[in-house]
Chain A
Amino acid sequence: MMDTKTNIPNNTEMTPVISLKGVNKWYGDFQALSNIDLEIKLKEKIVICGPSGSGKSTLIRCLNRLEAHQEGTIHVSGIELHERMKDIDVVRQDIGMVFQSFNLFPHLTVLENCMAGPNWVRGVDKSKAKERAVAMLEQVKIPEQADKYPDQLSGGQQQRVAIARSLCMQPKVMLFDEPTSALDPEMVSEVLETMIELAKSGMTMICVTHEMGFARQVADRIVFMAEGEIVEQNSPKEFFNNPQHERTKVFLDQILE
């Protein structure tokens, strides 16, 4: 896209950007993740779905170590995420994350939200950061809101700003943690369209979402989780038309009504 100094090594299409092996995580006695094995290649679009409490948000939050896993290994571009690592911030700068509750910085304008990351931690000077921010706001189709504060925007607009804010860091991977769950129904589609555009541009994406239409259209692979385990993963076509497990069938029946 643009000139960037990226922190984590480049990947070929074949080696995984993210790989998890035997990952286990507990909250007290409750096992949130059990024996997760997953590999995600460059430019792959993964949708993670499953009933609430199945561990999908926990899983995605482990990928940039907002949550700690207790057993197994997680590698991001060959760098292992663990407790004692020195360069977690460097890894995080290359992984964009979009939250269910947007989490924009309310005391900064939309433009400042987008400029903050590149300017503060990527060493991009202000004018360049602004240029990039404007470009990204155009990409998510709200350049005209640049000087407003987040709480002056609708939910859908805020989430698109959040996406633009992440993109300004020029990440290698984008994580979406239920990005449309907190939105009014009429605003879901504008966010999904932005995500579809992003997928078309070749971004590696991992999305936790209940939007099955989006999954069908965009996903290379759908990962279905229940009770902290990956129950099955398949191409959208197979996943919807030919689910292998009873749990998957029940879930699909409920969600596709």
Chain B
Amino acid sequence: MFVDTVIEDKALHKPVFLIGLSLTVLAIFFALNFTNTLFGEFLRPVIGDPTESGFFGRFAVSLVLTIIFVVNLFVISFFKLKVQVAIVWVELFLLFLAFAYSFDLKMSFIQSRIPLMISRGLFTTIYISAISIVIATVIAIIGAIAKLSNNGFAYAISSFYTSLFRGLPLLLQLFLIYKGLPQLGFMVDAVPAAITALSLCYGAYMTEIFRAGIQSIPRGQWEASRALGFKFNLILRKIILPQAIPIIIPPTGNQFIAMLKDSSLASVLGVWELMYLARTLGQRDFRHMEMLLTAAMIYWALTIVLEVIQARIEEKYKQKS
């Protein structure tokens, strides 16, 4: 993106904006009423018993929160961009932790279940996703080439495929494969069924991404290659794909991340992946939130790993050109 070279005053440094922001935030805090929470307890010396403090207590709590909030923003605004980003990230993360903490989580319960979640759940999730990603990528390359070809059959088959598999909900595809194939006499286990459904569904999305990536390479590249006497396969492999890949990577990374999380749908087939374990382990002891939040953090950590890998690859291609 282009960042303009003319710098405007920061909104946060304009009194009008600050006052407006403060009033708005105050109104929101007042409406949400934090009197009966931890914040009320903190202010007990000032407002007395929070439950009996009435309008004054509610207003005082809101005011204090507003001041903390606005001063925080104001202070952050003086830092450099990178520091700002880091501080805001940390603050939001702490808020998220506070939110999780508010469920009165039993840490020992989490600790006792985490080994199974990781050894079994995380392993299965990664295993299903990784295989599906590889198959989907292969399907996408073939599908994209078929869609760009002059061969009527190839085009028809690939466009029918993308239309069908983009048109059906993934969960429905899962059931069609898992429940449908056995009726036709093909027994499929839950894991292969999940891998098949994920590969076919994401292969269809990625076919479109790859097709668009290949098409975005200027016609002149094909013409110059043809004029040198290159054949189609050579042009695709050596000229077009190397240029299309940097364009394809960001949306493909998105697909990988989405697929990783959609592998949780395999839980409905009883596959012991993260989501399934999160639901079943917590159920018996009514400790749902413990397990769900643990699974949430693991999924999140996994996607962060994928994001970092994607950024690395993008960086590598940027240096090259």
Contact = CB atoms under 8 A, between A and B. Distances in A.
Interface of A: 64, 66, 89-93, 95-97, 99, 101, 103-107, 116-117, 120-121, 149, 151, 162, 165-166, 169
A120 B321 contact: no
A103 B228 contact: no
A104 B218 CA distance: 11
Contacts of B220: 99, 101, 103
Interface residues of B, number: 19
Interface string B182-225: 00000000000000000000000000000000000010110111
Given A106-B321, A107-B321, A120 B223 contact: no
Contacts of B224: 97, 99, 103-105, 162
Contacts, number: 62
Nearest to A7: B229
Given A92-B228, A107-B243, A121 B221 contact: no
B321 A116 contact: no
B227 A97 contact: yes
Question: Interface of chain B, helix or strand or loop or mixed?
Answer: helix
Given A92-B226, A103-B221, A105-B239, 14 more contacts: A64-B227, A90-B229, A91-B229, A92-B228, A93-B229, A95-B227, A99-B220, A103-B223, A105-B221, A116-B238, A120-B238, A121-B229, A121-B231, A169-B228
Contacts of B239: 105
B243 A106 contact: yes
B59 to A, nearest CB: 62
30 contacts: A64-B227, A66-B227, A89-B231, A91-B229, A92-B227, A92-B229, A99-B220, A99-B223, A99-B224, A101-B220, A103-B221, A103-B223, A103-B224, A105-B224, A105-B225, A106-B243, A107-B243, A107-B320, A107-B321, A116-B228, A117-B230, A120-B234, A120-B238, A121-B231, A121-B234, A149-B321, A162-B224, A165-B228, A169-B228, A169-B229
Interface in B231-261: 231, 234, 238-239, 242-243
Contacts of A105: 221, 224-225, 239, 243
Nearest to B223: A66
Nearest to B320: A107
B116 to A, nearest CB: 47
A93 B228 contact: yes
Contacts of A165: 228
Most buried by B among A89, A93, A120, A169: A120
B317 to A, nearest CB: 9
Contacts of A92: 226-229
Interface in B126-162: none
A196 B225 CA distance: 25
Nearest to B220: A103
Nearest to B237: A120
Contacts of B238: 116, 120
Contact of B230 (A91, A97, A101, A120): A120
Contact of B228 (A101, A107, A117, A151): A117
Contact of B229 (A99, A106, A117, A151): A117
